[in-house]
Structure 1
């Protein structure tokens, strides 16, 4: 249900970040990321978005904390904000913006890699921005397969508006992506009517229910291969989508795959095309940070 500004309850939070951290770099990435276009605001050096956590739709406004490495946040909701909701949204934002990521070893390895070191100079202090939640990325991975970006965004918007997680904060209208329980209420026929695609609706209908049985904490931290196998069991999730989910949804940096976009990014930075064997050799230099290496290549290459 939509909430109006007059009824808002407010809570302030502080989110520390590991140095080095440059919030301007995060905002720059978010502002240019087409999959999230229209969902988040980045004006006036602030990030505004809506999230759905602990059964509550919350508006969030984040700014760089003065004199400290981290962010100041203000939460707004149309109902009292419980400690459970504060804890859930704090964890979600920390993970989404990579605030706890320790880049020390990654940057040490980058200094040994001349072509890539120049990328790090440009992006110094940038912590990988993920999707706001891995569940949202699961749904997006299904919607965007073999679909033009505008069409995929239209389908996603239809799901968001059908659930109605809207909150008005001042002059800004914010929409939160549905949580698992909300999307699980839709029958497959209802999803077909919303997004206009039978196959994607079938994938969504089944994957949402299977996702509800998974433990996100285990997906973030459990053995890589076990997590990957669980993701590959989700309808509509293949090798590429699983890799997408692992890195950009779950922050799993241990492995990376060579696709067309990555191949172009490597060529831009290293000045030559590379085959699979050379790509793996370059990636292995970064060990458990190779996912960060790949993300920096795409963003800053």
Structure 2
């Protein structure tokens, strides 16, 4: 029985906490959560209240969420919804696994990482910023930029001598000029793009709700690509990691290309047509196929 400072979240059958923890520890520069001794620590701002919580999973049947600071009973449902979205718990992966176990490029991968979820970005602004920050640079440097951005403009919760960071709000970033981001070692263009996205969200022109209300995948993709700094790769990344469209497919992604090169045992990059041919059997599950192939590399 959960207490007022606890929350239990039931897990789907296809879920493995240790596999997901291993994924979450892939880069030591990650600053939006901390993994310590089999637990996850994360801070969120919910309704203006900074809440720090710890997630454990002793039996692989429930996530046990322990609130350490700042909990209000009325915010527990919002935090539960955030965690369910973060771990993509409401997506039934049965059909994906049935397909992947027959696919020559995926069958070993889904066996090695059985129970891995597409751990994403419930917050649209964070997803768009991460997509922009990661454009045309390696993953390690993208994490460095994110940490600089978060620590300069975000808020934090202090607990046992450690700071747990909350991603900067679009309301605050919308007030900035590109020069205000000059300490962060990214291009001026990326600074402009991030501020532009923040301003669109601050004036109500862009929101997760408005995008989802469009309903159609292609229409949402077109709407995202209209935004300065958002191309097809970033749009599909956000559709995949935030808006949770299983058909999202960042086909030009370097990680996907390198993973397929490895799986196909090629001495060159696969062509776009070779990728499309390989993806025929992934229909309706392109996002998860991509995510699992990424996991081969990082």
Structure 1 contact 220–251 (Cα < 8 Å) conserved: no
Out of 111, 114, 117, the position equivalent to 1:121 is 111
Which is helix-richer, 1 or 2? 1
**Which deviations, in whole Å up to 9, do the C-alpha atoms of 1:87-132 show, x marking residues without a partner?**
2222111111112221100011112213421111101111111135
Q: How does 1:118-197 map to 2 (within 5 A)?
A: 118-131=108-121, 133-147=123-137, 152-184=142-174, 186-188=175-177, 191-195=180-184, 197=187
Structure 2 contact 120–241 (Cα < 8 Å) conserved: yes
Q: Could you say which residue in structure 2 is the equivalent of 1:22?
A: 16
1:74 matches 2:66: yes
> When the two structures are superposed, what TM-score results if normalisation uses the length of structure 1?
0.84
143 and 279 in structure 1: CA distance in 2 versus 1, 3 angstrom threshold: closer
150 and 105 in structure 1: CA distance in 2 versus 1, 3 angstrom threshold: closer
> When the two structures are superposed, what TM-score results if normalisation uses the length of structure 2?
0.85
1:49 matches 2:38: no
Stretch moving more, 105-114 or 206-215: 206-215
Cα deviation for residue 219 of structure 1 reads 3.7
224 and 164 in structure 1: CA distance in 2 versus 1, 3 angstrom threshold: closer
List runs of 5+ in structure 2 lacking aligned partners. Answer: none
Out of 204, 208, 220, the position equivalent to 1:216 is 208
Count of matched residue positions in the alignment of Structure 1 and Structure 2:
287
Q: Could you say which residue in structure 2 is the equivalent of 1:265?
A: 259
Out of 267, 271, 276, the position equivalent to 1:275 is 271
Which whole-Å CA distance do the structure 1 matches of 2:116 and 2:148 have between them?
32
Q: How does 1:81-92 map to 2 (within 5 A)?
A: 81-83=72-74, 85-92=75-82
Cα deviation for residue 289 of structure 1 reads 0.8
Cα deviation for residue 283 of structure 1 reads 1.5
Which whole-Å CA distance do the structure 2 matches of 1:266 and 1:204 have between them?
31
Which whole-Å CA distance do the structure 2 matches of 1:209 and 1:142 have between them?
15
Q: Could you say which residue in structure 1 is the equivalent of 2:289?
A: 293
**SS of 2:25's equivalent?**
helix
List runs of 5+ in structure 1 lacking aligned partners. Answer: 1-9
Which whole-Å CA distance do the structure 1 matches of 2:201 and 2:280 have between them?
31
Q: Could you say which residue in structure 1 is the equivalent of 2:246?
A: 253
Structure 1 contact 106–289 (Cα < 8 Å) conserved: yes
Q: Moved runs in structure 1, 4+ residues, more than 6 A?
A: none
